[in-house]
């Protein structure tokens, strides 16, 4: 196991009706004037936003609002949010929604106290200061409610980039699984795919002797395999929703990834798809992650075979573990198909002729991407090509 620091300071406020306590937690973490930041309207329609406002009012917290965060949140709204916060002397950012609203809130939080362009943080500069962020989560997916990451799309050039700092970890996150019952099945499945991808990005490692994190990863994956079909069949199943919601946080606050080399190449390769086609991140991952697996499994057959046996219940073929590894990838694709996810470029609405541009946008030039295995430009091209026409179906 490698040396590590692990900082997860977020207070998770989990369970039925907990959004009623939002004002209390804003106050607890020093907020006096809040930017209430939310998406395209689901929180308004469900009545959640009204309940959150009521809670803020009861706690004596003033607020201004900025809605309209799009999935794959854009830089343009972040600039608007930064200007509004400065003008209104906002000292706390409260996101109500999913990864998109939360990531946009984090970008605003970092941008307000910074003299330069907030995009610097998404181009490699370190965040030195940020306003505190809190969240009321409405979809189990990105894990942003517990992570120190934020992903924003620069409208000009369709560049999707991430920033990371423990300063971006929310002070608190309200997590009421019942709020996720209004999700369309497709969004539920996209979220489940993202959660599983967050674990696989950590599971596929070159670090040996990491039994504890291997087993934690497997527990999250097995939970998702069990609970996702249950909520697709029965969207109002609170207990299954609750298990998935907590799995989403555990998958990405890094408790399952500490002390080991991680991969993150499927995410990097997918982000160019959601940047170019504005598809859901989870749907893009359903197309890319198995394609990545298909391309690289021979470079680490035993780890893929381990996943096949422990996660997908395959029989180990001791004569030829590659057979087991391949069967695991096939079962992953079958699972994704079963929950309604796309598996190919065509199903996602992506085009093979855009592959050179997608590869260019990744921005590695003639360099490589590190991870479980090093990827060259040619490897990345091949992964996109496999996603056009997968073999292990
Ligand atoms: O905008 P509204 O109207 O709220 O609708 C949203 C949106 O259309 C809808 N929705 C959310 N909760 C709902 C609901 N509809 C009905 N009932 C509810 N309870 O679902 C749609 C998707 O929402 P979004 O916030 O975009 O989803 P998600 O949480 O998957 O976030 C995706 C973004 O997070 C980034 C992705 O790249 C993408 O931009 N990620 C962020 C990460 C992080 N910060 O750590 C890590 C991830 O790997 C990921 O990259
Ligand atoms: Zn993700």
Reduce the secondary structure of 320-360 to three states and give it as a string. Answer: CHHHHHHHHHHHHHHHHHHCCCCCCHHHHCCCHHHHHHHHH
CA angle 13, 14, 16 (to 5 degrees): 120
Q: What ligand is nearest to the CA atom of residue 162?
A: 1
Residue bearing tokens 């950012």: 93
Ligand nearest to the CA of residue 69, numbered in listed order: 1
105 CA → ligand 1 middle, Å: 13
CA 281 – CA 262 distance, rounded (Å): 19
Q: Point out the ligand 1 atom lying closest to the alpha carbon of residue 106.
A: 44
Rg of the chain taking only CA atoms, in angstroms: 20
CA 378 to centroid of ligand 2, rounded, Å = 23
Ligand having the closest approach to the CA of 68? 1
Residue with CA closest to ligand 1 atom 20:
187
The rounded distance, in Å, linking the Cα atoms of 179 and 137 is 8
- Asked if residues 293 and 318 have their Cβ atoms less than 8 Å apart, the reply is no
pLDDT of residue 279: 97
Pairing between β-strand 159-164 and β-strand 149-154 as defined by DSSP bridges: antiparallel
Residue of minimum CA distance from atom 28 in ligand 1? 99
What is the rounded CA–CA span in Å between residue 237 and residue 226?
13
Q: What is the DSSP letter of 112?
A: T
Q: How many angstroms from the chain centroid is the CA of residue 75?
A: 18
Atom number in ligand 1 closest to CA 181: 19
Ligand 1: residues within 6 Å at CB?
39-43, 71-72, 97-101, 103, 138-139, 141-144, 147, 149-151, 179-180, 182-183, 187, 191, 194, 252, 267, 274, 281-282
Residue owning the nearest CA to atom 49 of ligand 1: 142
Ramachandran angles phi, psi of 154, nearest 5° = -85, 115
pLDDT for position 60 = 98
Any residues with CB less than 8 A from the CB of 90 and at least 6 apart, and which?
Answer: 33, 34, 35, 64, 84, 112, 131
Between the CA of 313 and the centroid of ligand 1 the distance, in Å, is: 31
Helix (H/G/I), strand (E/B), else coil: 204: coil
Q: Of all atoms in ligand 1, which is nearest to the CA of residue 148?
A: 45
How far is ligand 2, taken at its centre, from the CA of residue 194, in Å?
Answer: 5
List the chain residues with pLDDT less than 70: none
Q: Which residues pair with 94 in a beta bridge?
A: 36, 134
The model carries a pTM of 0.98
Retrieve residue 385's tokens: 């090509």
Q: How far, in Å, is the centroid of ligand 2 from the Cα of 321? A: 29
Of residues 139, 136, 161, the one with CA closest to residue 75: 161
Contact status, residue 178 vs residue 239, Cβ threshold 8 Å? no
Which ligand gives the minimal distance to the CA of 48?
1
Position 157 scores a pLDDT of: 87
Closest atom of ligand 1 relative to the 182 alpha carbon:
17
What local confidence, expressed as pLDDT, does residue 373 receive? 97
Q: Which residue's alpha carbon is nearest to atom 47 within ligand 1?
A: 142
pLDDT the model gives residue 158:
86
Q: How far, in Å, from the CA of 282 to the mean position of ligand 2? A: 7
173's enclosing H/E stretch is strand 172-175
- Nearest 5°: the CA angle 204, 210, 216 is 75
Closest C-alpha residue for ligand 1 atom 39: 72
């Amino acid at each position: 196991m490698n040396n590590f620091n692990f900082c997860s300071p977020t207070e998770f406020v989990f369970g039925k009706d907990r959004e009623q306590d939002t004002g209390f937690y804003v106050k607890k973490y020093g907020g006096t004037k809040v930017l209430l930041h939310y998406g395209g309207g689901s929180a308004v329609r469900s009545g959640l936003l009204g309940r959150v406002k009521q809670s803020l009012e009861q706690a004596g917290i003033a607020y201004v609002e900025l809605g309209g965060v799009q999935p794959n949140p854009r830089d343009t709204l972040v600039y608007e949010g930064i200007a509004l916060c400065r003008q209104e002397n906002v000292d706390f950012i409260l996101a109500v929604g999913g990864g998109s609203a939360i990531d946009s809130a984090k970008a605003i939080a970092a941008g307000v106290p910074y003299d330069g362009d907030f995009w610097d943080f998404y181009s490699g500069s370190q965040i030195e200061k940020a306003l505190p962020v809190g969240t009321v989560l409405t979809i189990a997916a990105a894990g942003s409610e517990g992570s120190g990451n934020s992903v924003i799309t620069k409208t000009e050039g369709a560049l999707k980039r991430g920033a990371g700092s423990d300063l971006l970890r929310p002070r608190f996150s309200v997590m009421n699984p019942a709020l996720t019952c209004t999700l369309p099945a497709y969004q539920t499945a996209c979220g489940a795919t993202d959660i599983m991808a967050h674990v696989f990005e950590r599971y596929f490692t070159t670090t040996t002797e990491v039994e504890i994190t291997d087993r934690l990863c497997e527990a999250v994956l097995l939970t998702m395999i069990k609970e996702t079909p249950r909520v697709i069949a029965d969207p109002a199943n609170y207990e299954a929703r609750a298990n998935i919601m907590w799995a989403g946080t555990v998958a990405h606050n890094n408790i399952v990834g500490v002390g080991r080399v991680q991969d993150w190449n499927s995410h990097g390769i997918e982000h160019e798809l959601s940047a170019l086609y504005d598809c859901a991140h989870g749907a893009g991952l359903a197309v890319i992650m198995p394609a990545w697996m298909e391309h690289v499994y021979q470079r680490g057959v035993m780890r893929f075979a381990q996943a096949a046996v422990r996660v997908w219940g395959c029989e180990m073929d001791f004569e030829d573990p590659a057979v087991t590894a391949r069967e695991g990838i096939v079962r992953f694709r079958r699972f994704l198909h079963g929950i309604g996810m796309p598996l190919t470029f065509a199903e996602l609405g992506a085009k093979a002729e855009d592959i050179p541009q997608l590869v260019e946008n990744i921005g590695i030039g003639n360099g490589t991407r590190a991870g479980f295995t090093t990827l060259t430009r040619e490897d990345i091209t091949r992964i996109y090509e496999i996603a056009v026409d997968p073999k292990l179906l």
